[in-house]
Amino acid sequence: MCGIVGYVGPQQAEGVVIEGLRRMEYRGYDSAGVALVHDGEIAWDKRAGKLANLDKSLGDQPLPKATTGLGHTRWATHGAPNDVNAHPHLGATGRVALVHNGIIENFAPLRAELERAGHELRSETDTEIAAHLVEAAVTEGHSLTEAMRQVCRRLDGAFTLVAIDAHDPDRVVAARRNSPLVVGVGEGENFVASDVAAFIEHTRDALELGQDQVVTITREGVEVVDFDGNPAEGKPYHVDWDLSAAEKGGYDWFMRKEIHEQPNAIADSMLGRHDEQGALQLDELRISEDELRGVDKIIIVGCGTAFYAGLVAKYAIEHWTRIPCEVELSHEFRYRDPILTRDTLVVAISQSGETADTLMAIRHAREQRAKVLAICNTNGSTIPRESDAVIYTHAGPEIGVASTKGFMTQLVACYLLGLYLAQVRGTRWGDEIAAVVRELEQMPGHVQSLLDRGDEVLALAENLADARSVLFLGRHAGFPVALEGALKLKELAYIHAEGFAAGELKHGPIALVEKDVPVFCIVPPQGRDFLHDKMVSGIQEVRARGARTIVLAEEGDDDVAPYADVMVRLPKVPTLLQPMVAVVPLQLFACELATRMGHDVDQPRNLAKSVTVE
């Protein structure tokens, strides 16, 4: 939520900052702004709406040349998305410019205090108070670093702040608490940003910052202190993907590119995680085998798509390990006072590793002495850093707001975790585990075969272009897939879409079915005969009431054909792994329909990729 970037070095800062914002626009696109230090003054521009509006404004009225600057792309929390509330915000005299990601919870008393002291605040944001406070401190003679540190100690909530001072032209200062911030370390130039994508074009060397730290970047170096002024150190790491991964590579949407990257992403997520005999090796796990043998309950937490990956994981983990497994929305978890002990393993699933709800859930779990394992796609992010163990998903950067390869690789990581637990605890034979690993190794090919038949889904989107409501039915591991299919359609096509467990239909939802309502039906493999037959009954029930059925069933399943208006054939795979293939046509369908409707697929309205506020 919100992308922020700061730069100091020999290049024209405006270009570096705007390019950085372009690569982070997925984090928020309600407004964008830039500020530069030029000739002892701050030069700035900011515009409501997408970055293109700022681009146009800068084209009409260019800012002066400068080599130090910062920028912001906003997902609005406090105050409407208009020009005034856009960041950067300036202090009372315009000497300091500041951008912010997060929420300053005690902004009301601080605002009142500033107003009593005669400050005139122009916006409705919580951010502007920080700009005034930092500027007041530098005006008193403190360095920008010292001013930032003092102000941060007075703030409650979640924030990343970046500031520049017109009187200190070669320095950018940033701070973080509960909100993402990484440093890009270049040669004679340095960067701060919410995400490495902002500076990947210039350097792949990054520094991970800890909680409550202030970082000062100059051309010469990087200095980190904590909020009390004690020297601290960032943790260096090398980004293992390059600029091409952060670009569309000829696709119209990042989402479409990311859907098509799934075969590779699955293969990368499997790489090095089993030996030739199929025995699992999760070297990076950092929880001992003894501790894993002692686990008596698993609770999986996540939000949105990550939560649905957790629902799939429950079926697999309980089946393979017999460990009771609960799945919970991160934001509900800590408020119900869950029962956690030293033997509870909390698995936090998050593509970004920055989702505030999930972060707060793991903090609660660790306070209660539970062990926390993160499944995450983003190196250097907060959730893995604050967890006892991590399985990285190696999907490469996911930029489309709708998660696709993120979900796919979360499934892979969940299956690997389940199989590893089964191996360590001896609840499955080695050959059984190896057989599932072999099936997982086939997945890139299966997913590719579905992508090669993408035209079928295109035709489907054309036929269903007028639908105002779409339902999704599944059973067992197909139920979370139904939920995921509906979520993709809601967030991209903005139409009513709901996923149901097929067995639940007759308990109410079937009342929604009327003539011609499209219903996607995810049919379990025929090998699960009892499940399969029940699903076929469900399809008949909706068809009898006039629904148009789009049936996703495995190759060779002819029993369902008579009840399908449209058949989408899935590769033959085991029931527990079927979500990996069943989700692909649903991702493509949402992407095609939203494209047809003229929506911005990568930046759907009201959303942001990384939800860093609770």
List active site positions: 2, 609
Which of 7, 308 has the CB closer to ligand M6R? 308
Torsion sign, CA atoms 308, 312, 313, 315: positive
Q: Which residue of this chain has its Cβ atom nearest to ligand M6R in the complex?
A: 304
Q: What's the burial of 506, exposed, middle or buried (CB within 10 Å: 0-12/13-18/19+)?
A: exposed
The yes or no reply on residue 67 touching ligand M6R (CB under 6 A) is no
Which element (helix H / strand E) includes 443? helix 430-452
- Distance of alpha carbon 453 from alpha carbon 466, whole angstroms: 23
- Binding residues for ligand M6R restricted to 307-326, rule: CB under 6 A: none
Handedness of CA 347, 352, 357, 359 (dihedral sign): positive
User: Could you say whether residue 350 binds ligand M6R (CB under 6 A)?
Assistant: yes
Please, which residue, 364 or 532, has the CB nearer to ligand M6R?
364
Interaction mask 401-420, ligand M6R, x per CB under 6 A: xxx-----------------
Stretch that binds ligand M6R, among 124-132, 199-207, 348-356, 475-483 (CB under 6 A): 348-356
Min separation Cβ 487 and ligand M6R, Å: 6
Three-state secondary structure of 302-370? ECHHHHHHHHHHHHHHHHHHCCCEEEEEHHHHHHHCCCCCCCEEEEEEECCCCCHHHHHHHHHHHHCCC
3-state secondary structure at position 475 = coil
Nearer to ligand M6R, 304 or 538 (CB): 304
The angle subtended at Cα 170 by Cα 168 and Cα 174, nearest 5°, is 85
Interface with ligand M6R includes 127 (CB under 6 A)?
A: no
Q: Which contiguous run of DSSP H or E holds residue 113?
A: helix 107-116
Question: Does the footprint of ligand M6R cover residue 355 (CB under 6 A)?
Answer: yes
By CB under 6 A, tell whether 21 contacts ligand M6R: no
Cβ proximity of 549 and 515 under 8 Å:
no
At position 228, the amino acid (one-letter code) is D
Task: List alpha helices for 494-548, DSSP H.
Answer: 529-544
Q: Is 526 in the site for ligand M6R (CB under 6 A)?
A: no
Please identify, using beta-carbon distances, which residue of 304 and 499 lies nearer to ligand M6R.
Answer: 304
User: Closer CB to ligand M6R, residue 71 or residue 485?
Assistant: 485
Nearest approach in angstroms of CB 275 to ligand M6R is 30
Applying CB under 6 A, does 348 fall inside the site for ligand M6R?
A: no
Cβ closest to ligand M6R, residue 101 vs residue 352: 352
Residue 262 binds to ligand M6R (criterion: CB under 6 A) = no
Phi-psi region of 213 (alpha: psi -120 to 50; beta: other; left: phi over 0): beta
Considering only residues 179, 213, 358, 526, which one is a binding residue for ligand M6R as defined by CB under 6 A?
A: 358
CB of 398 to ligand M6R, least distance (A): 8
CB-based burial label for 142 (10 Å; 0-12, 13-18, 19+)? middle
Q: Which stretch binds ligand M6R (CB under 6 A): 114-122, 312-320, 350-358, 505-513?
A: 350-358
| Near ligand M6R in 488-517, by CB under 6 A | 491
- Of residues 141-170, those binding ligand M6R (CB under 6 A): none
Q: Which is nearer to ligand M6R, 207 or 306 (CB)?
A: 306
Which stretch in 74-82, 146-154, 351-359, 553-561 sits in contact with ligand M6R by CB under 6 A? 351-359
Give the nearer residue to ligand M6R in terms of CB position, either 467 or 489. Answer: 489
Pairing of strands 89-90, 96-104: antiparallel
Yes or no: say if 469 and 496 are a contact pair by the CB < 8 Å rule: yes
Q: Determine if 352 is a binding residue for ligand M6R (CB under 6 A).
A: yes
Q: Does 387 contact ligand M6R by CB under 6 A? A: no
303 binding ligand M6R? (CB under 6 A): yes
| Total of chain residues touching ligand M6R, rule CB under 6 A | 16
CA–CA distance, 394 with 382 (Å, rounded to integer): 17
Choices 182-190, 282-290, 303-311, 559-567 (CB under 6 A): range interacting with ligand M6R: 303-311
Residues 6+ apart with CB under 8 A from 290: none
- From residue 463 to residue 492, the character string flagging contacts with ligand M6R as x (rule: CB under 6 A) and all else as - is ------------------------x---x-
Minimum CB distance to ligand M6R, residue 497 (Å):
13
CA distance 336 to 226: 33
Instruction: Collapse the DSSP code of 34 into the 3-class scheme (helix H, G, I; strand E, B; otherwise coil) and give the result.
Output: strand
Q: Is 304 a residue that touches ligand M6R (CB under 6 A)?
A: yes
d(CA 40, CA 68): 12
Residue range at the interface with ligand M6R (CB under 6 A); choices 203-211, 214-222, 255-263, 346-354: 346-354
Burial of 566 (0-12, 13-18, 19+ CB in 10 A): middle
What is d(CA 289, CA 423) in angstroms, rounded to the nearest whole number? 10
d(CA 4, CA 124): 19
Q: In Å, how far from its chain's centre is CA 70?
A: 23
CA dist., res. 192 & res. 195, Å (int): 8
Give whichever of 96 and 492 is closer to ligand M6R, judged by the CB atom. Answer: 492
Q: Which is nearer to ligand M6R, 154 or 366 (CB)?
A: 366
> Quick check: 306 binds ligand M6R (CB under 6 A)?
yes
Q: Which residues bind ligand M6R (CB under 6 A)?
A: 303-306, 350-352, 355, 358, 401-403, 487, 491, 610-611
